[in-house]
Amino acid sequence: MASIVILYYLHYILIASGISSAFSLLGVTIHEYTDASQGEIGLLLMSLPFVITVARPYFCYLADKHAAHRRYFIASLICIVITYLPMFAIPFFPSFYPNHGRVSWWIMVLVSIVGTATIEVALSLGDTLAVNAADRTNSAFGRMRTCGTLSWGIVCSRIGFALV
Amino acid sequence: MIGQFNETSALPKYTPGFIILMLSMLLNAILFTFWTKDAFVLGDKNKLPADGQLRSAECYDSAFSSLEGTLRMDKNSTKSEFKAIQIRQDLNNKLNNLAQLNKDQIQVDEAVDAKSSSLTELDLACTQQSENQPVEKQAEKQKANLQITLLKMILKEDKRLIKYLTLYAVLGFITSPIGFLFLSIEEASKGSSYNFSELAGCVIMSQAFVESFFFFILPYANKLMSRIHRVMLILILLSIRSVYYSTFYYTSGASLYWAALAECAQGVTFAVYTTLNAELSLMFSNLTTSFIPRLRQLGVIGDPSAIGDEQARKEEASVDTALRASLQSSFGTALEGLGYGLGCLACGLVYDSYGHINMWRMMAVVTLLAFALHLLVELSQSKYSDLYRARRRSLVIPVTIVTCYDKPELEQDCH
């Protein structure tokens, strides 16, 4: 039983630290490595909640339909890694993004939309598994979630200091 | 210390953040791939009701938070559900007897008149088959869309799902101005002695600490507060916060660091509605087991006598876990998708046109309206309320809402 609970503590620490570092740097990365204006970046960030509205319930419905929550969750984590590779790789080509600012911008748009959708799906599926594990083992879901918040706060603040 | 990573590492700017993201996701995927499978089982077969029995027939959920859901029928309707099943079984038996009598009669007629033009057994069977076909097709369709079938059943039986989805959308709307808060603080701190970075850091830290603290103590606090109390608490805190920002914060000349105290409300709110989300999604998804007899009647799942005990248990387990992720995501979607998106749009428009103080005034009005509406819905004890009484539909004085610590006496109240 303890091994079940430990997994979800680790899950929230990892997922919160990953998401906090990405979300806090999304806007500044797009501004740094594309030729987009503040208005365009604002429009992109504004559209992300509506992408979540469509993607999240649909993929969670599919996970329920196929009764494959764990597989969908692992697949969404791997999709996050693959999706954010371009955003990670573009800065390594200093000859590319100054000369092809628009192409770089559209790549970042695609990465942001698909990446945000997969992150939210992963969060929902992770929460489903964690809540059910808490229910079965009679442990407190709030304590598992605390790890996520602490991890978010620590990583977010360190990232802000170390990188900006 | 600031920017030290950029100075010492050979990596381009901001890329370490994405390295952390990818490494943490990969590690998470590895953990979930190789951990014991027991950690991923949804539902518990031992909790499923025995064959032919409905889930516990409480007439409404208790005022305390509970991760066990019950179908909100009163005891009499539970009995009538059983009665309906029995009547149906009796009718089926009688129809089968009649069909047998008809069959005997037909054989006698055939023996008397070989050229009889009455319905033969084959014609009867074909007629019955063609009559059953639309019912079978419907059952197959419902089986293929089990999630949608169950969701429709839950929506029909328990209207609170609509109430909570609306509530989460409104909460998402109300908590959306967090980004605009920093914009407005930056505007207010320009030309003054305040350091915006320090101010923003203080606000975020106070939010994070209060949130962590409340996540930790909520398992204890949930035993003292019902769902109604928790929703009232977060709406009151958010309305105080909005009223404060729209009235005293920018105009009274007091220190801008008071925002750190005001944002404690945001921390409490986040902790409460996240745990409430988990509880509600589990509660509503647990209701699916109460529909097992009805699904058997409709032919969506098979009878143990027809398909065997093991297969029947598997189908029951699939019904038990049919809506776990869907409902978990639905509340999150209402909050972070619909509510947050519309809130950001509205806040942006008002901020641009009328300034930040009017934006906070709009939020204060929306929060106070949401609080009043929530109180009205709960006081009226309608089908949307947590205090739904099927028989007694009288107005409850506010004291009952505030002091409903007593667990209901089921035997006395379900009349």
Q: In this predicted complex, what is the ipTM? A: 0.93
Q: Kindly report which listed range (A64-73, B18-27, B106-115, B324-333) carries the lowest average pLDDT score.
A: B106-115
pLDDT at B135: 64
For the segment B63-68, the average pLDDT, to the nearest whole number, is 35
Give just the sign of the alpha carbon dihedral B91, B96, B97, B102.
positive
Contacts of B314 in chain A (CB under 8 A): none
Closest of B110, B154, B137, B145 to residue B281, by C-alpha: B154
Are B18 and A131 a contacting pair at CB < 8 A? no
Is B9 touching A (CB cutoff 8 A)?
A: no
Contacts of B25 in chain A (CB under 8 A): 14-15, 18, 77-78, 80-81, 122
Phi-psi region of B74 (alpha: psi -120 to 50; beta: other; left: phi over 0): beta
Is A84 touching B (CB cutoff 8 A)?
A: yes
Are B24 and A15 a contacting pair at CB < 8 A? yes
Inter-helix orientation angle A141-163/B196-221, to 10°: 170
Highest mean pLDDT among B1-10, B11-20, B228-237: B228-237
Contacts of B21 in chain A (CB under 8 A): 18-19, 21-22, 80, 84
Q: What is the mean pLDDT of chain B?
A: 75
Task: Yes or no: say if B176 and B347 are a contact pair by the CB < 8 Å rule.
Answer: yes
Q: How confident is the model at residue B124 (pLDDT cuts 50, 70, 90)?
A: low
Contacts of B14 in chain A (CB under 8 A): 25, 28-29, 32, 91, 163
Are A81 and B22 a contacting pair at CB < 8 A? yes
pLDDT at B94: 73
Closest of B267, B298, B315, B302 to residue B45, by C-alpha: B315
For the segment B286-300, the average pLDDT, to the nearest whole number, is 83
Helix, strand, coil distribution of chain B in percent, nearest 5:
75, 0, 25
* Closest by Cβ to B325, choosing from A64, A85, A134: A64
Is B66 touching A (CB cutoff 8 A)?
A: no
Distance CA A73, CA A88 (A): 22
In Å, what is the CA distance from B6 to each residue of A137, A152, A155, B14? 45, 21, 16, 8
Contacts of A57 in chain B (CB under 8 A): 326, 329-330, 333
pLDDT at B410: 38
- The C-alpha angle B80, B84, B86, rounded to 5 degrees, equals 115
Residues of chain A with pLDDT under 70: 1, 160-164
* Closest by Cβ to A163, choosing from B16, B275, B344: B16
Q: Where are the beta strands (DSSP E) in B45-173?
A: none
* Closest by Cβ to B345, choosing from A46, A64, A74: A46
Q: What is B313-371 written as a DSSP string?
A: HHHHHHHHTTTHHHHHHHHHIIIIIIIHHHHHHHHHHHHHHH-HHHHHHHHHHHHHHHH
For the segment B320-330, the average pLDDT, to the nearest whole number, is 90
Which residues, 6+ apart, have CB-to-CB distance to A127 below 8 Å?
Answer: B277, B278, B328, B332
- Selected residues 238-297 of chain B with any CB under 8 Å from a CB in chain A: 271, 274-275, 277-278, 281-282
pLDDT at A118: 94
Q: How confident is the model at residue B334 (pLDDT cuts 50, 70, 90)?
A: very high
Size of interface A-B (CB pairs under 8 A): 241
Buried-state track B134-148, b at ≥16 Cβ within 10 A, e below 16: eeeeebeebbeebbe
- Selected residues 44-63 of chain A with any CB under 8 Å from a CB in chain B: 46, 49-50, 52-53, 56-57, 59-61, 63
Closest of A88, A92, A77, A101 to residue A26, by C-alpha: A88
pLDDT at A23: 81
Q: Which two tokens stand for residue B109?
A: 């007629």
Q: What is chain A written as a DSSP string?
A: -HHHHHHHHHHHHHHHHHHHHHHHHHHHHHHHHS---HHHHHHHHHHHHHHHHHHHHHHHHHHHHTT-HHHHHHHHHHHHHHHHHHHHHGGG-TTTTTT-HHHHHHHHHHHHHHHHHHHHHHHHHHHHHHHHHHHHHT--HHHHHHHHHHHHHHHHHHHHHHH-
* Closest by Cβ to A127, choosing from B219, B321, B328: B328
Are B332 and A22 a contacting pair at CB < 8 A? no
Task: Yes or no: say if B77 and B86 are a contact pair by the CB < 8 Å rule.
Answer: no
Q: Which two tokens stand for residue A24?
A: 């806090």
Q: Token pair 């539902």 is at which residue? A: B43
Buried-state track B174-212, b at ≥16 Cβ within 10 A, e below 16: bbbbbebbbebbeebbeeeebebeebbebbbebbbbbbb
pTM: 0.78
Nearest residue of A to residue B146, measured between CA atoms: A65
Are A149 and B333 a contacting pair at CB < 8 A? no
Q: Which two tokens stand for residue B264?
A: 């404690």
Is B166 touching A (CB cutoff 8 A)?
A: no
Contacts of B320 in chain A (CB under 8 A): none
Per residue in B207-248, pLDDT tens? Answer: 888 888 888 888 788 778 888 889 999 999 999 999 998 887
Closest of A9, A41, A16 to residue A122, by C-alpha: A16
User: What's the half-sphere exposure (Cβ side, CA atoms, 13 Å) at B123?
Assistant: 6
Contacts of B8 in chain A (CB under 8 A): none
Are B22 and A84 a contacting pair at CB < 8 A? yes
Per residue in A115-160, pLDDT tens? Answer: 999 999 999 999 999 988 888 888 888 888 888 888 888 887 777 6
